[in-house]
Structure 1
């Protein structure tokens, strides 16, 4: 099968760019012209799938202000709301990233439609019941927005970036259950010549600057699709809630959150490379220091967060236990160090960790003299990647990994 080594997103992107340059795939400019009016695949399989109701609200679930900070169609988890929680992020505290609004979908009429030149027998449909009858699998994995931490480009580094001003709460770890995408692709008649799949959501078309970019969609190489991608229908032991992709979503471990398409409705399977605005126009590192076509946003970077509110108050002289969580798209965290103003000290790990999740930790601290103080946490993952002091600037504010300076007050 062509491109079977393309399980790393950066390698996949380099291969596609070489193909574009060689005329074997659409150029970025050509793709943007085609997508300006909507989806590349809108005419490939007739009308859009049934199941999307006419009415939709930006976010369905309650958004209490002590748990979430709301940015239009998005809701960020406040880190203090994770204090005292277990390893998994409760559904009612899981962040929400919507490009448009949460759709209302009738599971009885919902169908997953697979089509394209990469299937041997033509289009195939699966109902919800069809998926439930297939062998299931469960994984514990984080889903994190590529822009998580974006606000710190401005507040810490004094740089202008575009996009939602996330702090560090655009991440959640859940136990996902569903069917391997590989199982469905094989049942649908995947050919040995297929190279790409293009999952597409059922939420409304995304319109920006007066241009309709169509349904949210982002291609995956067949190699990754066959490796570890899940068609999830449960989250933390319950059916997916509406805001998190009901009835079925993708979970693409270790890749940027945009790959884990919610409200899945269609998957194009192709013998030629596929593109979309979500891997060409967006989710690329652009700006000085990057090539003209930019660099694709790939695995998430190393980050750490304290389970504390901004400007938390502590009593002078009191003994405290500071707690937090660290994570990396590369795998498990190997070490976390914390600086409370007197140099770095190693934190103690709390509980077990999943390869695709995060690591909880804690460290004692005696609050000193009254006044403003700064807490810092710095993690190192199993590959040796460590949080730097500064993240290289990119115009859309992706993949912020620098050590965050967390202000507190001692009173």
Structure 2
């Protein structure tokens, strides 16, 4: 029987340390990982010498939020300007476009995070290969979509959020540039997902007691960096304990088959974890008896910077907490009228306890009215009245606290790749 203990996922530092030790003993693989990145990780075990010169990836100033193209290469669905901001191969949801859409984000409004381009896959010919030396006898097993649909299904309401959501505020609020897509707060969507438990599929495939890591890979094109380095298909290992816990192989989103841009025909859903873990267009899953590394848990999706060791933090797992107003930036609001401000708050580690609102740049605060029953790993909508009297600039703040006691801080510790921004966002408006 496979343990469902989630301690490896909850204590990522300890898990990562054990992986390093296994690497040193020749019991781990790092296919596609640059030697410099592996050396940086090995420095954590104190065996590779001083590699501080390798450092973290160079910080690059985020692109200004208004310097965006009008089309996104490789995205299939329409991207009307009133719903999306195009950022390279990605499309960010404009938060004001969510007003009135309800609790679940419609596919027509759901953000798109692509490394390359959305593949057009035929559900009738698609199959999922489960393979690796972590299976009994080492024999691979394939599942069609029809095979998955015959298994007991499960549904889960959860948000998917890019680890870099809010990245641009490191620059605009804190004056600290960060590399990567200059998201504001719209790299998130909340949906009702339906599929089959990954644990059920792994058991059918014959996962053995020797398995330690599970690594899904996407069927989108191989990712080539700006410097010409081919990193291969997007893939990122999960500890077996997490894979056997609450991970879903999802084939439906909000009661309909997955749209192409969101993983059709099947994607992973890893609730509450950073979005990169929820691999889209999954085509194969390696089950390994040795620890696995990929560029997406070595070079990317760790925290690098002055406050972190040269090898970076442990690989990112859980997302953080945030709040956003359903208002355009610098929205014009008439004076002398009552406005019903709306927004959404979310947390990966607990349900939303309360949301505090300030309409005077943080001098005074009051509680917003919560419109939904709070749930961990999903967002909660809220509303609050505001009756501005005097024309001029104003700053709105929303600050959430979850049931674990975590509260959004005034600032976020900087990291060079701009992950996990959780500070209170200063939302500028104009009273006219």
The structure with the greater share of residues assigned to strand is 1
Match of 2:103 among 87, 92, 96: 87
Q: Deviations over 1:301-360 (max 9, x none)?
A: 110000100011111111111111100110211010000015011111112233221111
Is the CA contact 1:197–1:225 (under 8 Å) kept in the aligned structure 2?
yes
Q: RMSD in angstroms over aligned alpha carbons? A: 2.0
Is the CA contact 2:8–2:239 (under 8 Å) kept in the aligned structure 1?
no
- 1:18–1:190 Cα change, 3 Å: closer
Inter-partner Cα distance in structure 2 for 1:139 and 1:159:
37
TM-score by length of 1: 0.91
Inter-partner Cα distance in structure 1 for 2:107 and 2:32:
40
Q: How many residue pairs align between the two structures?
A: 392
- 1:277–1:262 Cα change, 3 Å: same
- 1:265–1:34 Cα change, 3 Å: farther
- 1:224–1:131 Cα change, 3 Å: same
Corresponding residue of 1:385 = 406
Q: Deviations over 1:261-309 (max 9, x none)?
A: 0000000001111111101100010011112211122211110000100
1:218 aligns with 2:236: yes
1:316 aligns with 2:332: no
TM-score by length of 2: 0.87
**Alpha-carbon deviation of 1:20?**
1.3
Deviates more, 1:113-122 or 1:256-265: 113-122
Corresponding residue of 2:253 = 235
Inter-partner Cα distance in structure 1 for 2:243 and 2:379:
23
Deviates more, 1:346-355 or 1:20-29: 20-29
1:106 aligns with 2:108: no
| Structure 2, unaligned runs of 5 or more | 39-71
SS of 2:159's partner is strand
- 1:152–1:8 Cα change, 3 Å: farther
Is the CA contact 2:5–2:241 (under 8 Å) kept in the aligned structure 1?
yes
- 1:359–1:30 Cα change, 3 Å: closer
| Structure 1, unaligned runs of 5 or more | 37-55
Corresponding residue of 2:425 = 404
Inter-partner Cα distance in structure 1 for 2:29 and 2:269:
28
Is the CA contact 1:147–1:398 (under 8 Å) kept in the aligned structure 2?
yes
**Alpha-carbon deviation of 1:31?**
3.8
Inter-partner Cα distance in structure 2 for 1:305 and 1:78:
11
1:328 aligns with 2:347: yes
Inter-partner Cα distance in structure 2 for 1:142 and 1:364:
27
Corresponding residue of 2:287 = 269
Inter-partner Cα distance in structure 2 for 1:29 and 1:80:
42
- 1:392–1:6 Cα change, 3 Å: same
- 1:331–1:250 Cα change, 3 Å: same
Inter-partner Cα distance in structure 2 for 1:9 and 1:245:
24
Q: Deviations over 1:165-187 (max 9, x none)?
A: 00000000000000000010000
1:116 aligns with 2:132: yes
Corresponding residue of 1:41 = none
